[in-house]
Amino acid sequence: MRKDIHPPYAPVVFRDKAAGFAFLTRSTATSARTVEWADGRTYPVVDVEVSSASHPFYTGTARVLDTAGRVERFERRFGGRGRGNGR
């Protein structure tokens, strides 16, 4: 690997303010804001809008989409327009 071309890879806290969830990991992301972590050290903090604590897929609150119903509704609405004309 070439030297001096990669950004610094250091510990960073990612905080999901909506869920009140934060985790410490290593990243190249940086921030001017800092937070004191449970180990007593101060780390840069990056606020995110969605994390595994607030995303509907991970929390189990995701809605199941009725794709068959959508196709049927599309067929009812637009019928068989454009069929048989090579498009």
Yes or no: say if 46 and 31 are a contact pair by the CB < 8 Å rule. yes
* pLDDT score of 82: 60
Can you tell me whether residue 44 is helix, strand or coil?
strand
Backbone CA torsion sign across 25, 26, 29, 35: positive
Yes or no: say if 26 and 11 are a contact pair by the CB < 8 Å rule. yes
List the pLDDT tens digit at each of the 87 positions of the chain.
688 898 889 999 999 888 888 999 999 998 999 999 999 999 999 988 777 677 666 556 656 666 667 777 888 888 866 655 554
Contacts of 4 (CB under 8 A, 6+ apart): none
* pLDDT score of 61: 63
pTM listed for this prediction: 0.60
Kindly tell me the number of DSSP H helices and DSSP E strands found in the chain.
Answer: 2, 4
